[in-house]
Amino acid sequence: MNLLGATGGWLAHLLERYADHLRTASAKRRWLYAFGAGICGALAMAPVYALPLLVVAFTTLVLLIDGAKATQSPRRSAFITGWFFGFGYFLAGVYWMAFSFFVQADQFAWMAPFAVMGMPAFLGLFIGAATALYAAIRAGGWARIFLFATIWTVFEYARGHVLTGLPWNLAGQALAGNALTAQTAAWYGAYGLSLVTVFLAVSPAAIFAGSISARLSGVFVLLAGAALIVGAGAVRLAMPEPISDARVVLRIVQPNIPQKEKIDWSYWQRNFERQLDLSRGAIPPDARLFVLWPENGAPLLEESQQALETLDSDLPSDAVLLAGAVRRERDSGGVERYYNSIAVVEDSGNGRIVTGHYDKHHLVPYGEYLPFYDSMQKLGLAQLTPYGDAGFTPGSGPRTLTAGGQSFAPMVCYEAIFPGESYPSDARPDWLAMVTNDAWFGDTSGPRQHLDMARLRAIEAGLPLARSANTGISALFDGKGRLLARVPLYKAGKIEAPLPPPLTKTLYDRNGDWVFLLMIITCTLFGFYLRNE
């Protein structure tokens, strides 16, 4: 017992020295520590999932802001400290974006360093603004824990919406590596999951302030909160589920086509046949087959009668094909417009035809369209986007389509990262159909993080999600986000599995981000109440 007490005392002394060192660090050291803490935070995401580092990162950041508050310019110092944290966090979190510039290296490789540095520098502004606001509110003890978590998450929400939004690497995404720890997203969505995650991650900061009981409470809250998340997940996963009467079989295709060959028109026929080879095969009697091809799997499919005839002869009878495609149309003024789409191909009784389509509405800035096109053209950057002068034209918004007796909500790539935008609120589908092409980003953390966000969309909606990715990771999730099947990264193959049944509407599906807003209000009131005690 004496040895245990001595060890505990030594550890407490070591932690106190660590906290004092951070609080009293010089400005340059503070920035360096913040940058390192940000990198630690990113390592809690896929593919590392080092969740304890999230606690180290956020606790370190709060202690560094404590030091910034003691300077002559607390808000300015806190902003810079937060920005360095954000720069490290996003540098380690979205570095994979640079890989896309090397696909056509002769044209775009020179831009990679600007992307690698520029995007984290911009996204770091949101964290800098959050820490500056936090520093402006003088609070100690548990008040600062509530207020820090609230402010951080509000700025995460802003990051997901400002300038079309980029809700990548939300703090709660660290819990999306498996279905067990991500289940509570069904109640309050990805932003609510972030609020809970940040609150727990920063709660050990209470160790370094207040009485002995206050210090112990920080550890208790972290451990109890983690246990509740796991326990709630286990209970929800064990709950009975509806049984589907529909005999629907999914065939999810992953052709593993290198990106250079995918965008080269001379490979179009070979790429088409590769996907078709993976789509062939008999199905059980009385079952309806849905075949899913990845993003841009069949460009201009609707215009190729030969391709439609080939599909008619090679696909199983009555099979429905959902193919990532590019389509074009001319408006009344004769202007040609291109859309990044999903084409629905069905048997009309007189051959295969495109019976419907979905046009991607949430386009990637600078990748699929050019904001400020005239200015970008003058700078010689108009060639950044494919198809047409200014890139793709956005669709009208989320849609629910019906084919083969099933309703489904299509999503194209980037759209799957946005919580609550998978389908119209008044048209809930039976399942979610996602097509993507992550080949641009190589064997990096990007495709793996993208997969985690798809899991969250399934949990939030309580709907199964089928994901066809050109080079991976193709997957099938049930309505609780359990991974039922997958094709690994950079492997050709297919998933053939029955479609899981949809669950009843989740709390998040019924109320959207209103639950998250209520959580924000509650945490803010608690924070100011404790601040004034």
CATH label of the domain that carries residue 354: 3.60.110.10
| One domain for residues 474 and 443 | yes
Same domain? For 106 and 203 the reply is yes
Same domain, 233 and 326: no
| pLDDT (0 to 100) of residue 13 | 62
Of 64, 146, 142, 172, give the one whose Cα is nearest residue 417.
172
Question: Is the CB of residue 440 less than 8 Å from the CB of residue 99?
Answer: yes
Mark whether 432 and 292 lie in a shared domain: yes
224 found inside a domain:
yes
Under DSSP, the state recorded for 296 is T
Q: Residue 382: inside a domain, yes or no?
A: no
Residue 88: both structure tokens together: 């490290």
Which sign, positive or negative, has the C-alpha torsion 69, 192, 115, 382?
A: negative
Q: Quick one: pLDDT at residue 110? A: 83
Considering the domain architecture, whether residues 230 and 272 belong to the same structural domain is answered as no
Buried b (16+ CB within 10 A) or exposed e, 369-379: bbeeeeebeee
Element containing residue 396 per DSSP (H, E):
none
Q: What is the pTM of this model?
A: 0.93
Q: What is the spatial distance between Cα 194 and Cα 152, in angstroms, rounded to a whole number?
A: 9
Regarding whether 96 and 32 lie in a shared domain, the answer is yes
Q: Are residues 206 and 252 in the same domain?
A: no
Q: What is the pLDDT along the chain (533 residues), one digit of tens a residue?
A: 454 444 445 656 677 787 788 888 899 999 999 999 999 999 999 999 999 999 999 999 999 999 998 888 999 999 999 999 999 999 999 999 988 888 887 777 888 888 889 999 999 999 999 999 999 998 888 899 999 999 999 999 999 999 889 999 999 999 999 999 999 999 999 999 999 999 999 998 877 765 555 567 888 899 999 999 999 999 999 999 888 767 899 999 999 999 999 988 899 999 999 999 999 988 888 889 999 999 999 998 988 999 999 999 999 888 999 999 999 998 877 788 999 999 999 998 888 999 999 999 999 887 787 776 555 555 555 555 666 566 899 999 999 999 999 999 999 999 999 999 999 999 999 999 999 999 999 999 999 999 999 999 999 999 999 999 999 899 999 999 999 999 999 999 999 999 999 999 999 999 999 999 999 999 999 999 988 76
Both 450 and 319 in one domain: the answer is yes
**Token pair of 435, please?**
């097509």
Three-state secondary structure readout of 198-241: HHHHHHHHHHHCCCHHHHHHHHHHHHHHHHHHHHHHHHHHHCCC
The residue behind tokens 């985690």 is: 452
Domain end point (choices 217, 238, 259): 238
Q: Which residues are catalytic, by number?
A: 295, 360, 413
Residues 104 and 140 in one domain: yes
Identify whether 219 is part of a domain: yes
Whether the Cβ atoms of residue 286 and residue 245 lie closer than 8 Å to each other:
no
Do 314 and 190 share a structural domain? Answer: no
φ, ψ at 474 (rounded to 5°): -80, 145
Instruction: Judge contact between 130 and 155, C-beta under 8 A.
Output: yes
Report which DSSP code applies to 135. Answer: H
3-state secondary structure of 522: helix
* 221 and 257, same domain (yes or no): no
User: What pLDDT does 5 receive?
Assistant: 47
Domain membership of residue 519 (yes or no) is no
Flag whether 376 is in a domain: no
Specify the pLDDT at position 10.
Answer: 60
Tell me how many domains the chain contains: 2
- Per-residue burial over 427-448, b = 16 or more CB atoms within 10 Å of its CB, e = otherwise: ebbbbbbbbbbbbbbbebbbbb
**In whole angstroms, what is the distance from residue 1 CA to residue 69 CA?**
40
Residue 467 within a domain: yes
Instruction: Identify the burial level of 337 via C-beta atoms within 10 angstroms of its C-beta, where 0-12 means exposed, 13-18 middle and 19 or more buried.
Output: middle
371 assigned to some structural domain: no
Domain housing 329 = 248-362+397-503
Do 205 and 89 lie in one domain? The reply is: yes
Is residue 24 in a domain?
yes
Out of 211, 238, 265, pick the residue that ends a domain. Answer: 238
